[in-house]
Amino acid sequence: MKTILPLTFCVMLLAACSGNTPEPKGIIVNFAESDEIFPNPERGLFAQTYYTSANVTSHADAGVIKNLRTSAARMTVLLHSYYLTDYMESDIPQEFLDRFETNMNALREGGAKVVLRFSYKSSMDAADKPWNASPEWIHRHIDQVTPYLQKHADVILCVQCGWLGSWGEWYYTDSGYKQNPTKDSDFEMRWEVLDHMLRAVPETRQVALRTPAYKMRYLLMHGDTAMSALTAAEAYKNTAKARICGHNDCFVSSSSDVGTYNKPSEREFWAEDTKYTMMGGETCEKCSYSKGENAISEMEKYHWTYLNRDYRESVTGMWRSDGSMDTMLMRLGYRLALEKIIVTPKPVAGSPLEVYCVLHNKGFAAPVNPRDVELVLVNANDPGKKHIFPQTEDPRFWLPGEQHKFTLSCSLKDVKPGEYKLYLNLPDPYESLHNDPRYSIRLANKDVWEEATGYNYLTTVTIE
């Protein structure tokens, strides 16, 4: 798979090299791409679980979550929907909040992350009104869950804004929230919920709205008259524009995705905005637009990261039958494959070592949440001795469909001469998960992954 020549591992990712920049001279190591379907954190199919106020004893099971990783879908994502039906005019009781915390702990133990949604009703029938609580109680309930969201940010993938309307999808609304808002004043109460959620959810995580029109309208009413999509310069800041993402729960289910899109400008907005924001969801109806070829094209265009495994079965079953699902399993979210590296020849202890990388993202999206990059040198004769070099490279800008070139660099001043294995590690930045290999990104290359450590093997180098 690769050429192994003397090399050192040093890590401070310095420069992103343009396509016209000459490649450095050094030892070239080429990598073979893998077509294997394997689990990777923060991406892929998800399983959905409902937790209701009518049964506060049900909770997530860490063993079941662990087994999802080895299932055919190689799942590392769940969606937890919390229905507060019995608390529409009262505080959320502690036993319900305790159940939420139990679930988050089970996710961490099981090696997965979660998409969260809170709402009150799972029906649009008039007999089930009201579909959501009053503004007073919604904001009270957001305050109650805030400390739990902050505490368990490490295992949150993203949070769907929720709270309003049936299923928390913001359409079948009442209790003062107009069902079909048209005027600016109609939207103000909705923006209060969104702003409250942006404060409640940790700033490292994004909050999803059901349609692009909602975000565009929010931007318009907050001074962005062009309703412009997020740019690279604006991305990943602690601003509303950077943190509002989307979820499409009627994906490829009609020409408009059942009202998800109302005009071409909304499609154009989401196609650009989702380069730097999370996108996921589910289908809701089978139609001519649901064919696997079109679904894959749409996932690519709108940078999909996560998809419901089970709903709707008539559509997902069709994708499994025609082979499209395997493509989705590989490409949902990121799929990072090294093409080659060029390593400093004959590295010397005390001198710099550089690793020039050429990497291609074959997925639908870039990693959206923060992600560390590290070079790791492990002594070939004594694996207990290793050196870890944190980098400044940001994988969130490794956009899909593009080749990325960058240099990782570090000093060998504290590394003694000898033979070392060189690794690339892409761990979770949260301390609670950083050393858990299940939360490190596996490269889509043959013969690189070390499951026990979460490291990607690059080559062996001899430091003189």
Determine phi and psi for 103, rounding to 5 degrees.
-65, -40
Rounded Cα distance, 146 and 149, in Å? 5
What pTM did the predictor assign?
A: 0.94
Question: What does each of the 464 residues of the chain score in pLDDT, given as a tens digit?
Answer: 443 333 333 333 333 333 456 899 999 999 999 999 999 999 999 999 999 999 999 999 999 999 999 999 999 999 999 999 999 999 999 999 999 999 999 999 999 999 999 999 999 999 999 999 999 999 999 999 999 999 999 999 999 999 999 999 999 999 999 999 999 999 999 999 999 999 999 999 999 999 999 999 999 999 999 999 999 999 999 999 999 999 999 999 999 999 999 999 999 999 999 999 999 999 999 999 999 999 999 999 999 999 999 999 999 999 999 999 999 999 999 999 999 999 999 999 999 999 999 999 999 999 999 999 999 999 999 999 999 999 999 999 999 999 999 999 988 999 999 999 999 999 999 999 999 999 999 999 999 999 999 999 999 999 99
Spatial separation of the C-alpha atoms in residues 30 and 308, rounded to whole Å: 36
Token pair 């997020």: residue:
230
- Asked whether 243 and 208 are in contact (CB, 8 A), the reply is no
Residue 246, strand partner residues = 209, 279
Separation CA 431–CA 153 (nearest Å) = 11
Contact 53, 463 (CB under 8 A): no
Domains of the chain, each with CATH number or no CATH: 13-37+335-463 (2.60.40), 44-331 (3.20.20.80)
